[in-house]
Structure 1
Amino acid sequence: MLFRDDPLSGTKPKRRHPRAPQVPHLIRSDEEALEIATRLAETFAEGASERDRERRLPWDEIEAYTASGLGGITVPAEFGGADVSFVTLAKVFEILCAADPALGQIPQNQFGVLALLRDVGSRDQKARIYGDILAGHRIGNAGPERGRKAVNHSTTTLRSTPDGLRLTGQRFYSTGSMFAHWIPTRAVDEAGWPVQVWVRHDAPGLDIVDDWASFGQRTTASGSVIFNDTPVDDELVFPVWSYKDRPGIAGPVSQLVQAAIDAGIAVAAVQDAIRFVKDHARPWMDSGLQSASEDPTIIQAIGELETDVHAAQALLYEAGTVLDEVARVPVTDAASARASIAVAEAKILTTEIALAATETLFDLAGSASTRAAHNLDRHWRNARVHTLHDPVRWKYHLLGNYHLNGVFPARHQWN
């Protein structure tokens, strides 16, 4: 990575690369994946607040995550993976993100692009990439370009030269790329077709710039990736243009992960609200009570939050179940739409409870909860930033248009 300029020296430290891949543990079942995620989450939670406060990137924690084998849990069984259910995938992300949502978000793009690989990749491409994943490689993503145009607009170009394919362009919102061995991105080929291109982290002409400066999800390092005449392996160019007219589930899988991240943020906020009310909050003077945990208004509010969290989780797991059903048979247009609809419903509730829980925390815990030492505002900051990945108002539109007019959702990574 390239850090922002040092204001004193005017120099940039040497770019840091991820460690060479080490063969990770091979997870064999859904149960083992959940057990390992729970165990990892306990360690990730310990330094989450400090990492956020200091914007200390989780290099060691990402290595521990990779070594655990969680990065390969969706690799199909025929290629040597556990091929866990989508319900389990959602629960893994929820567990990790309840501990540290910024750290938990970093692997999100790996599962999104692996889902796309299932839909559009050739068998040889799948064998190569799945093999890399099970050998400990991490996948990032060089996301949309900056600017006011739609997120699917691209000026990043892939062109043929006498020396092979070359990629040129600048991307942003590149969560995971700083820690990744492979960096996929969208580009336009010489015929004007959108393609997905994979680039090695150490390829010539590739720069990763640590210019992520959001107030939330501060340690995802979701900054810029710059390609300057960067060489590309012609075997790692994927025809994403074909996805628009081909039934698939890559979009719903990507959105399922996003919803699970928000669910994890909500769970953490409710847990911290309960903990703070019990240990620190004072009863209101007019209540006549000795403990804030006896306040009937607080008791009711906690009950409402718990109910809303469980409702969001229920739709999240139901969406995972729908994806599991759709993935077991050849995917039709109707089945792909059903998956998108189920995930959209879950995304609405996980967004709403993440925002509500992180805001209500302060109402219930009182003014003491706003002290910098507690850093409880990180929950709201993380929820507010992450839930902006795609506007929930368009999820409502998607649902209404489907149920009222029978219109299937557009097929892309945000549906």
Structure 2
Amino acid sequence: MTIDSHEAAVAAAHEVAAALAPGVIERDRAGAATVPSDALATLDASGLLAVTVPRQDGGPGLGPSTLAEVIRVIAATDPAVAQVPQAHYLLVDVLAVHGDKDTRTRLLAEVLAGRRIGNALAERGGKHAQDLRTRLTGDRLTGRKYYTTGALTSAWIAVSALDDAGRLVLAFVPRDAAGVTVDTDWDVMGQRATISGTATFEDVPAPYVIDYAHAYEVPQQLGARAQLVHAAIEVGIAGAALRDARAYLRDKARPSTEAVRAGASVAGDDPHVRHRYGRVATRVRAAESLLADAARTLDGIGLVPASAQEAARGSLAVAAAKAFGSEVAVDTASELFQMCGTSATASKYDLDRHWRNARTHSVHDPLDWKYHHIAAYELGDVLPPSHGQL
């Protein structure tokens, strides 16, 4: 499917969301026991994988505002599926800016054909997730990764490694290459259908390699654009929790005994319910506005910022949207039960998935550091660090 405008992309996202809706509870309950192949095939066939491919590479060249809204719409139905292409979009950006002609031509053509790129960037066992033990020796890749969202069902996997000189590189290998194993050892309380488990690479030929270190030695928006997708996922979860709270209050919830004594005939008449709903609804709208503002900021800066100051402006705008959106998602998903009552906790509704998804995804990276960098810049003109994600 070809998408050539913001409106077409958003319409496609709504179509994907509608297709995903009937199975979202089953996917959440199944977790890694059942690979969501049909759901991901719907996403891959939608044309949305290619929305950010530059025009000079045959794509529509749509920007962050489009991407943020596409992800928000899908995440409001199934945030686990919405997260699967998060690294894919980052990798499209990396290829667009830093790929040599052959690498860029081949892999972006794959993306245009609906073939998704998964990631294998983080590792366990070191001092932190980017303390890498994976090595590229010559053109052979060996290592073990975790948090490999999208890798299981992708066509290609981008693997971070240190080369013979100890320099950070990004190696692209076919998912079905000999020596590549992707496991389903993903057992977490939320975002269960991402199946972001272990990937192992045993002497795997790497046909395409990028000097990944260089990407973060110059002013860049790669981290900000990647974090924008995470922010959109959180805001989508917040909107979903608010939507389901509203539906339950209107259609199912009974007023409490205290509320009836105070004159309420339906749950929505309870003044305390109204106060809580009004508060969380306002915060969700604020999170949506902050996300849209951050996306517009990145639209204006472009994929290659003109200066470190411009790069910082984009990173800090997204940091605010991600931090606030994460807090609002967790809060809204919890307040849902305070408003709707005990009956809303029945497992048949699976409403707890909103809190589990928000809580799991929100700790992807520390929110406190985002607020820290915002304050450091506002109070002391300290630029945020130029690394993978703020």
Query: TM-score normalised to the size of structure 2?
Result: 0.96
Tell me the CA shift for residue 34 of structure 1: 0.4
Deviates more, 1:398-407 or 1:151-160: 398-407
What does residue 276 of structure 1 align with? 248
What does residue 29 of structure 1 align with? 5
SS in 2 for 1:198: strand
Which of the numbers 214, 217, 220 marks the counterpart of 2:188?
214
Tell me the CA shift for residue 294 of structure 1: 1.0
Contact 2:220-2:305 within 8 A present in 1 as well: no
What does residue 286 of structure 1 align with? 258
Distance 1:140 1:365 in 2: 39
Q: Does 1:341 align with 2:339?
A: no
Q: Give the direction of change, closer, same or farther, for the CA distance of 1:191–1:328 in structure 2 (3 Å limit).
A: closer
Q: Which amino acid in 1 is paired with 2:175?
A: H
Which of the numbers 29, 41, 45 marks the counterpart of 1:53?
29
What does residue 384 of structure 1 align with? 359
What does residue 188 of structure 1 align with? 162
Which of the numbers 321, 329, 332 marks the counterpart of 2:307?
332
Q: Residues 54-108 of structure 1: CA distance to partner in whole angstroms, max 9, x if unpaired?
A: 2232201111111110000000111111111211100000000001111111111
Q: Residues 126-174 of structure 1: CA distance to partner in whole angstroms, max 9, x if unpaired?
A: 22221111112110001311125122210100002xxxx1111100000
Q: Does 1:251 align with 2:251?
A: no
Distance 2:135 2:256 in 1: 61
Contact 1:172-1:223 within 8 A present in 2 as well: yes
Which of the numbers 37, 61, 64 marks the counterpart of 1:83?
61
What does residue 132 of structure 2 align with? 154
Q: Give the direction of change, closer, same or farther, for the CA distance of 1:210–1:329 in structure 2 (3 Å limit).
A: closer
Contact 2:216-2:388 within 8 A present in 1 as well: no
Distance 1:136 1:39 in 2: 16
Contact 2:221-2:305 within 8 A present in 1 as well: no
Q: Residues 5-38 of structure 1: CA distance to partner in whole angstroms, max 9, x if unpaired?
A: xxxxxxxxxxxxxxxxxxxx11111110001111
Distance 1:254 1:231 in 2: 27
Distance 2:316 2:110 in 1: 32
Distance 2:387 2:35 in 1: 30
Distance 1:362 1:99 in 2: 19
Q: Does 1:231 align with 2:205?
A: yes
SS in 1 for 2:117: coil
Structure 1: state its 5+ residue gaps. 1-24
Q: Residues 272-305 of structure 1: CA distance to partner in whole angstroms, max 9, x if unpaired?
A: 1111111221111122222101111111211111
Distance 2:370 2:305 in 1: 26
Q: Does 1:266 align with 2:251?
A: no
Q: Does 1:65 align with 2:43?
A: yes
Distance 2:44 2:222 in 1: 22
Q: Which amino acid in 2 is paired with 1:253?
A: R
Deviant stretches of 4+, over 6 Å: none
Contact 1:119-1:248 within 8 A present in 2 as well: no
What does residue 277 of structure 2 align with? 302
Contact 1:265-1:383 within 8 A present in 2 as well: yes
Contact 1:175-1:222 within 8 A present in 2 as well: yes
Q: Which amino acid in 1 is paired with 2:369?
A: W
Tell me the CA shift for residue 405 of structure 1: 2.0
SS in 2 for 1:140: strand
Q: Give the direction of change, closer, same or farther, for the CA distance of 1:60–1:31 in structure 2 (3 Å limit).
A: same
What does residue 368 of structure 2 align with? 393
Contact 2:297-2:314 within 8 A present in 1 as well: yes
Cα RMSD between the aligned structures? Answer: 1.3
Distance 1:61 1:330 in 2: 35
What does residue 20 of structure 2 align with? 44
Distance 1:143 1:46 in 2: 32
Contact 1:119-1:249 within 8 A present in 2 as well: no
Query: TM-score normalised to the size of structure 1?
Result: 0.90
Q: Which amino acid in 2 is paired with 1:327?
A: G
Q: Residues 380-406 of structure 1: CA distance to partner in whole angstroms, max 9, x if unpaired?
A: 110110111101001011111111222
Tell me the CA shift for residue 330 of structure 1: 5.1
Which of the numbers 363, 366, 369 marks the counterpart of 2:341?
366
Identical aligned residues as a percent: 39
Q: Which amino acid in 2 is paired with 1:247?
A: P
Contact 1:30-1:82 within 8 A present in 2 as well: no
Contact 1:215-1:381 within 8 A present in 2 as well: yes
Distance 1:303 1:85 in 2: 33
Q: Which amino acid in 2 is paired with 1:261?
A: I
SS in 1 for 2:173: strand
1:107-118 paired onto structure 2 within 5 Å: 107-118=85-96
What does residue 291 of structure 2 align with? 316
Q: Which amino acid in 1 is paired with 2:19?
A: T
Distance 1:330 1:109 in 2: 20
Q: Which amino acid in 1 is paired with 2:240?
A: A
Q: Give the direction of change, closer, same or farther, for the CA distance of 1:133–1:328 in structure 2 (3 Å limit).
A: closer
